[in-house]
Amino acid sequence: MSDGSDNQSSTSDLWGGRFNEPTDAFVQRFTASHTFDRALASHDIRGSRAHAAMLTAVGVLSEDECESINRGLDIIAKEIESSQFDWQVAREDVHMNIEARLTELIGDAGKKLHTGRSRNDQVATDIRLYLRDAIDRILGELTRLQSGIIDLAAENSDTIMPGFTHLQVAQPVVFGHHLLAWNEMLERDFGRLSDCRQRLNECPLGAAALAGTTFPIDREMTAATLGFSAPTRNSLDSVSDRDFAIEFSAAAALLMTHLSRMSEELVIWSSAQFDFIDIPDRFCTGSSIMPQKKNPDVPELVRGKTGRVNGHLVALLTLMKSQPLAYNKDNQEDKEPLFDCVGTTLDCLRAFADMVPAITPKAESMRRAALVGFATATDLADYLVRKGLAFRDAHEVVGKAVAHCVNANSTLEALPLETLRGFHSVIAEDVFEILTLEGSVAARDHLGGTAPAQVRSAAVAAKQRLQR
């Protein structure tokens, strides 16, 4: 493998004629991208095979030439896979490394492969092929995570916990309802990534450097061979815009932002103060000094890694900003942020898909937490409304009852009926069932509500949508 030293073929082999002196050794390293864009090698080879087949079909290459190109590319693919490939800095990037090696291997036919093509449409094609595969893998992990979340939700349609606003106890909910909220976020992420995949799935090949080519190419053929839905429509746009990479990173940043919110909740819930869940040991680490510690490193790290994906999104937006048409070398900078967005998002999803279904909810402690903080105060107000009070008046009555409880260190349901009636005379014996946690959640029995029956059917519907 190349170490970037300068004792290899000089750049003038590749763009020969025009130059009077070889490229400066540092400039050669500075402008090279083979150290990272080799991640595109398999896509580059795939694109070259499609291009060669098309050139053959339109009579620009002979069958023999096409065959030896494919044979040479087979060898190159194996060399790269087995790390035997001699990457050369003088050959700058993945495209020229592969092409130059091809010519070494098969001679003149190798030199013909670049007919009617430029690295500009080549790289635009490679990135789209790469990203399409990456999105498919991400969607697979996302689906695995969603499936685990929905199953856990279905198992916890009766598990009562406090619902929060401002991280203060608000109203009781069931744990399954909370989990299905996570699933809603992820389902939208799935939709955004699928949209992005669909929009990027067009083939730039044939745009050549920027204006198209003088050869009688068949763009429909290369597009179809590579599984694109159509060729792109404008050659200038085809080689220049990286909006698809930005769009992907935006979708990835939002997905990571959702994972970071879930992470935050997992961290809080697994603390001794909350004690709502147990995260299995295999997803946690210890402390080198404090023997008692079990730290939720996985969710913390996912929360932290969200920052890099957000950063890459801004990097890509800034990279594209103000670029004139058509291709500019700036675009070589699209790869590292994009690759890291893909790798980070995949790793985080994998960790979550493994970890989330393995967490154990601690129903007793969730329930205990729901009993403090007057979680059923709204239920009492609603009860008074059903007995004829206007909601604002009911709100005031309950506020006074809560203030009394705070002073008396009591809960609403522990007050004697007589005391409760002191706040309003319409209050009767039937008040006690609406003050229970079970009564409170069961009463929110409508589409999108936290009633266990609603959560059970929401989980079934979510699972069905996942399987479509």
| Catalytic (active-site) positions | 166, 287
Task: Please report how close the Cβ of residue 38 comes to ligand ARG at its closest, in angstroms.
Answer: 11
Token representation of residue 65: 């030439």
Distance CA 425, CA 283 (A): 55
Chain positions contacting ligand ARG, by CB under 6 A = 33, 37, 93, 119-120, 123, 327, 329, 331-332
What phi and psi values does residue 248 have, to the nearest 5 degrees? -60, -45
Task: Please report how close the Cβ of residue 327 comes to ligand ARG at its closest, in angstroms.
Answer: 6
Answer yes or no: are the C-beta atoms of 398 and 377 closer than 8 Å: yes
Task: Please report how close the Cβ of residue 130 comes to ligand ARG at its closest, in angstroms.
Answer: 12
Chain-centroid distance, C-alpha 373: 36
Would you say how long the chain is, in residues?
A: 468
Which CB atom, from 46 or from 305, has the smaller least distance to ligand ARG?
A: 46
Which CB atom, from 66 or from 319, has the smaller least distance to ligand ARG?
A: 319
Task: Please report how close the Cβ of residue 340 comes to ligand ARG at its closest, in angstroms.
Answer: 16
Which residues, other chains included, contact 262 with Cβ-Cβ below 8 Å and sequence gap of 6+? 182, 299, 352, 356
Task: Please report how close the Cβ of residue 14 comes to ligand ARG at its closest, in angstroms.
Answer: 11
Which CB atom, from 30 or from 430, has the smaller least distance to ligand ARG?
A: 30
- List beta partners, residue 162: 172
Which CB atom, from 99 or from 141, has the smaller least distance to ligand ARG?
A: 99
Residue of 290, 288, 297, 293 lying closest to 267 (CA atoms): 297
Which CB atom, from 97 or from 183, has the smaller least distance to ligand ARG?
A: 97
Distance CA 17, CA 217 (A): 27
What single letter denotes the amino acid at residue 407? N
Which CB atom, from 279 or from 341, has the smaller least distance to ligand ARG?
A: 341
**CA count, 13 A, side-chain hemisphere, 43:** 22
Distance CA 353, CA 149 (A): 8
Which CB atom, from 117 or from 362, has the smaller least distance to ligand ARG?
A: 117
Task: Please report how close the Cβ of residue 40 comes to ligand ARG at its closest, in angstroms.
Answer: 9
